[in-house]
Chains A and B, each alone.
Chain A
Amino acid sequence: MNTKDKSWKILSLIPIIAVLVILTLVPLVNIFYNSFFDIRWDDGKYNYTYIGLENYIELPNNKFYLPGLINTIKLSIFAVFFQMLFGFLIALGISKIKRGKGFFISLFLLPILLPPIVIGSIWRLMYGFDFGIFNYLLSFFGVFPLDWLGSSSLAFTSIVIVDIWHWTPFVVLLLLAGLESLPTDVYEAARVDGTSGWNEIIYITIPLMIPTIIVTMVFRFILSFKVFDEIYLLTQGGPGTSTEVISFSIYETFFESDNMGLGSVMSVVSLFVVSLLIIIVLNVIRRVNKYAN
């Protein structure tokens, strides 16, 4: 590579680096800076009072954040697990379809194409205690109406179900792309050797799909921490704090309570926790992969 080419490559990267710095790094640094202050609007301007680590020390006592963090982690684990499972099975099924594949892909994509407000309204109606279709169907089996969104023990599961329904198509899409790009000669060779369909999946498809599965899972894991719409539209974090999640706590603190200092701390800690979990997940996957190889 000559010097001119190298300079041009560096030069061409500058715009994207600038965008990254302005839209990502600067807000991050700003939030980190704000987290050490008590910020109040007074006399027509924001007044910053330095309070050191006070916001950080108070955070564990916050009645919404800690339950929200625990719920978010639980939701990520359960929802992503089932999304990967169902997503893989559906993608596998679609990949075997010879005719009408486009129709099925469009059908399965519907949930991610719907606006969140529509999803919230649909599910809120379906979960309704007296008017909902689920309880209506259960009544045919003599089951007493379930308190889908009102029971402290069931509301969280109801949210997980909506999240699985909402985001499984995303997983399907990525895994299907992975499945369709697998080399066909391996399968042909296996068939010549008389490999069964089940063994084909276990010994060929899954090992070959591992990189795509990991990327999809990490992607979904990160995105699942951003869950907000379902909570906001279905339960508002209740009953009690049984469906509280960090994004909802942060939203309430920043925009409802107008507490920028505490909201910043919540954001910084959430970022740290998510990064830590991603590192742990990637390490576990790497070790499992190494062991499997």
Chain B
Amino acid sequence: MKKIISTISIFLFSITFVGEVFAGPKLTMLINQSPWFDGFRKTLEMYEEETGASIELDVNPYPAMSEKIRNSIRAPEGIYDIVITSTEFMSTYSDSGEFRNINDIDPNYKLDPGICSYQNTSYWNYDTQSYDPVNGEFIGIPVNGNVQVLYYRRDLYEEKGLTPPKTWDDLIANAAVFHNPPQMYGMIQRAERSSVTYNFGPYMFSHGGAVYKDPANGDFSIVFNSPEVKAAMEAYLKVRDTVGHPNAHAIGQGEMIQYLRTGKAAHAIAVIAAWGGMDDPNKSAVIGKMGAALNPAGPMGSASSLGHWEAHIPKNIPDENAVEALDFLKWLVTKENQIKYIENGAVPVRCDLIDSPMAKQDEFRFLEALGQNSDVAQFIAPNVEAVESTSITNLYLNKIVAGEVSIEEGLNAAAEELYQLLTKAGKKTGKLPDL
């Protein structure tokens, strides 16, 4: 009996000891609960199975992300080995100086040219406080290529012999064919206070408008009250008034997806991350019926707004964890694994998959639109004060859409507050005369 117990004890001790010697550090990653999360989790499990590595996910609702990142990266020892930032607070944390330069971990690693550039958000220039692929530090690797695309009902289009709209006027004309509220809305816009700026982005950029004049070169002059932005807002309201939802200013992302999945929306400009549920029989009434296209064009062509996520490796974690974390991120963005990523339901970050045979499959019919919109996607607020500046634009755009103020009043007031904010922050700024 004693012999048996001794043998078992030695065996158990051995496997524990062997495990300790060969296992790498267990990593922790902060991530948000979102429509693409399941795809990410499944792909991570494949990585763990393939390499024996172990990464624990701390999954949070979106609003909790910023605070958790802040608390971890500012602590003497970080809780998370990988954190991901959305465009909303990416610039703020990029400038914090708390993320490792990827080339300090692996001096030879470069992003593959097949990965979408997303206006160079992987490289942060601390001097100019802007994204800069030449003089910026390599601090992020994209993990989710979320941009807004035009969703349309391809089954209804085929029925009526229509083609996806090329311009905003085309969109209104096509949507008018199906607009029959409350059974179906021609177009759904999300203009709720927390997200209206993001939804307005494709309209604004396609009309040649912007919030800042030339942020990539450090010119943060406010151009939000330009005639171009005014024209974009007029187009936005025209869409709402002719083929949209009268309640647009109270519609958020959740409701927009609900309208699409229940078949009550003929069109919407929504994040590609929402695609995951469109063909899911448990979540959707429009299986196989949805199509995706390049956003309609304005005078300056088509545009989209960036909503992607970048992964960062904080400075306050052990070096061996940083190496392991980078290994995973490098693995994730390879072409081969991005295909698995798509199959699992996540949003890829490679623009070179549009021409792959995969894009021709009906199941992955969104890929072409994703690639096209990624190419024209722009960053709405690529500045350190993005959270505050977006709260300003959100408030006034929401007021305009709700009819509380006129377009001119709203844009002028927003421009003035943005100017005050940027002046206080010591940025090179200026503003246009009132509309």
- Segment among B9-17, B233-241, B354-362, B384-392 that sits at the interface with chain A: B384-392
- Segment among B66-74, B150-158, B162-170 that sits at the interface with chain A: B66-74
- Distance to closest chain A CB from B268 (angstroms): 14
A145 to B245, CA, bound (A): 12
Does B412 sit at the interface, judged by CB under 8 A? no
Task: Output the nearest chain A residue to B259 by Cβ-Cβ distance.
Answer: A130
A273 to B347, CA, bound (A): 48
Cβ contacts under 8 Å, A258 to chain B: 70, 92, 387
Task: Output the nearest chain A residue to B193 by Cβ-Cβ distance.
Answer: A238
Does A8 sit at the interface, judged by CB under 8 A? no
- Segment among B21-29, B110-118, B247-255 that sits at the interface with chain A: B247-255
B404 touches A236 (CB 8 A): no
Does B135 sit at the interface, judged by CB under 8 A? no
A145 touches B402 (CB 8 A): no
B417 touches A239 (CB 8 A): no
Contact of B193 (CB < 8 Å), options: A130, A236, A256: A236
B97 touches A239 (CB 8 A): no
A150 touches B250 (CB 8 A): yes
From known contacts A145-B182, A152-B404, infer whether A240 and B399 are also in contact, taking CB-CB under 8 Å: yes
Cβ contacts under 8 Å, B247 to chain A: 129, 147, 150
Q: How large is the interface on B (under 10, 10 to 19, 20 to 34, 35 or more residues)?
A: 20 to 34
Q: Which of A129, A155, A240 has the most CB of B within 10 A?
A: A240
Does A257 sit at the interface, judged by CB under 8 A? yes
A152 touches B194 (CB 8 A): no
Contact of A257 (CB < 8 Å), options: B250, B388, B398: B388
Does B217 sit at the interface, judged by CB under 8 A? no
Cβ contacts under 8 Å, A257 to chain B: 387-388, 391
Cβ contacts under 8 Å, B249 to chain A: 150, 238-239
Does A140 sit at the interface, judged by CB under 8 A? no
B404 touches A240 (CB 8 A): yes
Task: Output the nearest chain B residue to A127 by Cβ-Cβ distance.
Answer: B250
Count, chain A residues at interface, CB 8 A = 30
Q: Please provide the chain B residues from 68 to 113 with a CB less than 8 Å away from any CB of chain A in the complex.
A: 70, 74, 92, 96-98
Cβ contacts under 8 Å, B74 to chain A: 41, 44
Does A78 sit at the interface, judged by CB under 8 A? no
Does B264 sit at the interface, judged by CB under 8 A? yes
Does B132 sit at the interface, judged by CB under 8 A? no
Does B395 sit at the interface, judged by CB under 8 A? yes
Does B246 sit at the interface, judged by CB under 8 A? yes
Cβ contacts under 8 Å, B368 to chain A: none
Does B310 sit at the interface, judged by CB under 8 A? no
A205 to B70, CA, bound (A): 55
A37 to B246, CA, bound (A): 44
Task: Output the nearest chain A residue to B392 by Cβ-Cβ distance.
Answer: A63
Does A43 sit at the interface, judged by CB under 8 A? yes
Cβ contacts under 8 Å, B182 to chain A: 130, 145
Cβ contacts under 8 Å, A44 to chain B: 74, 97-98
A48 to B279, CA, bound (A): 53
Q: Please provide the chain A residues from 141 to 164 with a CB less than 8 Å away from any CB of chain B in the complex.
A: 145, 147, 149-152, 155
Cβ contacts under 8 Å, B97 to chain A: 42-44
- Distance to closest chain B CB from A208 (angstroms): 46
Does B423 sit at the interface, judged by CB under 8 A? no
A239 touches B387 (CB 8 A): no
Task: Output the nearest chain B residue to A147 by Cβ-Cβ distance.
Answer: B247
A161 to B79, CA, bound (A): 41
Cβ contacts under 8 Å, B194 to chain A: 236, 238
Does A103 sit at the interface, judged by CB under 8 A? no
Q: Please provide the chain B residues from 325 to 377 with a CB less than 8 Å away from any CB of chain A in the complex.
A: none
Does B192 sit at the interface, judged by CB under 8 A? yes
Does A111 sit at the interface, judged by CB under 8 A? no
Q: Please provide the chain A residues from 259 to 284 with a CB less than 8 Å away from any CB of chain B in the complex.
A: 259
Flag B219-263 by CB within 8 Å of A: 1 or 0 each: 000000000000000000000000001110111100100110010
B255 touches A240 (CB 8 A): no
Q: Which of B259, B262, B399 has the most CB of A within 10 A?
A: B399
Residues of A that sit less than 8 Å from B by CB? 41-44, 63-64, 128-131, 145, 147, 149-152, 155, 235-241, 252, 255-259
5 A-B contact pairs sorted by A residue (CB < 8 Å)? A130-B182, A152-B404, A239-B398, A240-B399, A257-B388
